[in-house]
Amino acid sequence: MIRVVAGIIEQNGRVLICQRQAGRIFAGKWEFPGGKMRPSETPRQALERELREELGAAPNIGDLVQMVRHRYAEMSEAVHISFLSAALQDPPRNLAFQRIIWAPRTELPRYDFLPADRQVISRLVRGEI
């Protein structure tokens, strides 16, 4: 199983979402920033590293929001995603994505998100997170 972390970063009622680059698996799909955990990392450590690498910002990692296990037909192993709340100490810079935007919660369903993120999106829209 592939262990992944993702950050739910909200600021002024908007959530930071990222579009995957062309030429990569799931190109053009939207997701929350984050990535694969290294074997020795905790979810918090992995998310801190990923947010620094992808957004060039020092993060404050909060609580675990949700865990999701999903199997993509395009991948041989299932993914286990730990979604954690996070805040950025600096404005984000796009260092790894096609685009990053701050989207209002109510507009999240309009974006073509990866299937594993859809449960979390539903909870964000309903105000449960």
- Tens of pLDDT, residue by residue over 31-68, are 999 999 999 999 999 999 999 999 999 999 999 999 99
Between the CA atoms of 70, 76, 82 and 88, what dihedral angle is there, to the nearest 10 degrees? Answer: -120
> Can you give the pLDDT at residue 123?
97
Query: What is the pLDDT at residue 105?
Result: 96
Q: What is the pTM of this model?
A: 0.95
Residue 87, C-beta contacts closer than 8 angstroms, at least 6 positions apart: 9, 11, 59, 60, 62
- Mean pLDDT per 10-residue section of the chain, whose length is 129 residues: 97 96 94 97 98 97 97 92 97 97 97 96 95
Q: Where are the domains of the chain?
A: 2-105
Superfamily name with CATH number, domain 2-105: Nucleoside Triphosphate Pyrophosphohydrolase (3.90.79.10)
